[in-house]
Chain A
């Protein structure tokens, strides 16, 4: 039981490049989400999904794309990286039972855009 697996752990991109951050969970959780963590701010929701085939935007979705083709995987795509996307990214998953369920987090991806 690996929990939430997030890759890569570190990445440096040039402005304009694209990349995909991978997130996979093996707990059969319906709910998966992506956050970014910036200095002096709480984690902010980028995109989330309540099940396979269903995604929705969070607080800061611009410049990011997601898909949920399976229950297990929820990749985050940066379409054209910008320096403002330099951040630490976390994927999380949980059951969706009307709230009040423990969230499990990936190890984080430290992304630098130069």
Chain B
């Protein structure tokens, strides 16, 4: 069993829909990262959080340490949000990655 599980693996949405991507992990962590991988391949950091909730524009990330679960929400989704979203947990200064959620948003 992977230490970091993401769901769903694939997600399609119509423009404007509210999107949720989930991440569950089974190890003790110091932080959790949400990353975005564009179709061209580059990876950028969206959020890093160790408790509570963070918001940046239309993106919201939450984490529940007790339940070992995090969610990434996208409000008012747009075709430019189409990408692979990757959850990674930080343990002993190393990152352990989920397999990613491929999101496609159609106009």
Contacts and interface: CB of A to CB of B under 8 A. Distances in A.
Nearest to B3: A42
A105 B43 contact: yes
Interface stretch (A67-75, A76-84, A93-101): A93-101
A61 interface: no
Determine which residue in A96, A98, A102 has the highest number of CB atoms from chain B within 10 A of its CB, and name it.
Answer: A102
Interface in B28-49: 30-31, 33, 35, 41-45, 48
B17 to A, nearest CB: 26
Given A105-B44, A108-B42, A100 B100 contact: no
B15 interface: no
Contact of B99 (A35, A42, A48, A88): A42
A42 B2 contact: yes
Contacts of B31: 99-100
Contacts of A41: 99
Given A31-B93, A88-B41, A96-B93, A103 B33 contact: yes
B97 interface: yes
Nearest to A90: B43
Nearest to B31: A100
B50 interface: yes
B68 to A, nearest CB: 16
Contacts of B94: 33, 45, 48, 58
Given A42-B4, A105-B43, A100 B97 contact: no
Contacts of B33: 102-103
A43 B98 CA distance: 8
Given A33-B95, A50-B93, A99-B30, 11 more contacts: A31-B93, A35-B97, A42-B86, A42-B88, A42-B96, A42-B97, A43-B88, A99-B31, A99-B93, A105-B35, A107-B41
Which 8 residue pairs of A and B lie closest in terms of their CB atoms, listed nearest first?
Answer: A42-B97, A99-B30, A105-B43, A100-B31, A43-B97, A108-B41, A42-B99, A102-B45
